[in-house]
């Protein structure tokens, strides 16, 4: 599953999908952990875009090109992260995030927490120790790599697809998490957004097997 610190474009697409399924804006904000005014702004601008969500996402990506450099991580945040890890038997980034939220009302992305930890510790996977890992796909042009994943919201599941080069996003909601759902999302994502790609990458979950695998080569090399 995706971590809830998901890509901003995915959040926009998911907010729109939830809105179209009659989810109240305040509930969308709670699900995606963003301010409800932000949800309202996104939805209003999508409605005003000539071609809806696709136009808005394209404008959003273009607006972000050349944005200012990221700020350096706060030194106090680093101290807190190291302190929590050492006091809680080398706990994982997700638990550190929980403690930061509870004790300091701070909620940095889990990715940021792990970047801080790597500055001081050598992190290794306990269950895949000394195991070789496959290459991480990179893209140098649009539609070269499409990454697909799913998010569990309890009573509803969101299937997501993203072009890792252009940042185009496709999202659709389901009531279950089966390979039949995966197949349906595959058709939906490629027929409405991506058309074709060189590689479709998933995490190998059950929703991306069987029916999904039988159809994926209709769209990817």
pLDDT-derived band at 2, boundaries 50, 70, 90: very low
Handedness of CA 72, 76, 79, 80 (dihedral sign): negative
Tell me the Ramachandran region of residue 106: left when phi exceeds 0, alpha when psi lies from -120 to 50, beta otherwise: beta
51, 52, 70, 154: which is closest to 109 by C-alpha?
70
Mean pLDDT, residues 155-164? 86
pLDDT-derived band at 177, boundaries 50, 70, 90: confident
pLDDT at residue 211, as a whole number: 93
Give the pTM: 0.52
- pLDDT tens digits, residue range 52-71? 887 888 777 777 655 555 55
């Amino acid at each position: 599953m995706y971590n809830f610190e998901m890509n901003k474009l995915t959040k926009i697409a998911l907010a729109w999908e939830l809105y179209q399924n009659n989810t109240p804006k305040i509930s969308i904000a709670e699900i995606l952990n963003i301010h409800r005014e932000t949800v309202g702004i996104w939805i209003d601008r999508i409605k005003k875009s000539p071609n809806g969500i696709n136009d808005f996402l394209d404008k959003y990506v273009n607006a972000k090109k050349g944005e200012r450099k990221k700020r350096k991580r706060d030194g106090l945040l680093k101290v807190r992260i190291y302190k929590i890890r050492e006091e809680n038997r080398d706990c994982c980034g997700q638990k550190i995030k929980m403690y930061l939220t509870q004790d300091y009302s701070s909620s940095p992305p889990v990715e940021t927490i792990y970047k801080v930890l790597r500055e001081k510790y050598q992190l290794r996977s306990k269950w895949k120790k000394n195991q070789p890992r496959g290459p991480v796909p990179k893209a140098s042009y649009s539609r070269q790599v499409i990454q697909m994943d799913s998010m569990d919201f309890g009573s509803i599941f969101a299937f997501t697809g993203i072009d890792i080069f252009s940042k185009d996003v496709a999202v659709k909601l389901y009531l279950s998490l089966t390979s039949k759902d995966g197949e349906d999302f595959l058709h939906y994502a490629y027929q409405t957004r991506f058309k074709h790609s060189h590689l479709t990458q998933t995490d190998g979950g059950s929703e991306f097997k069987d029916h999904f695998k039988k159809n994926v080569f209709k769209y990817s090399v």
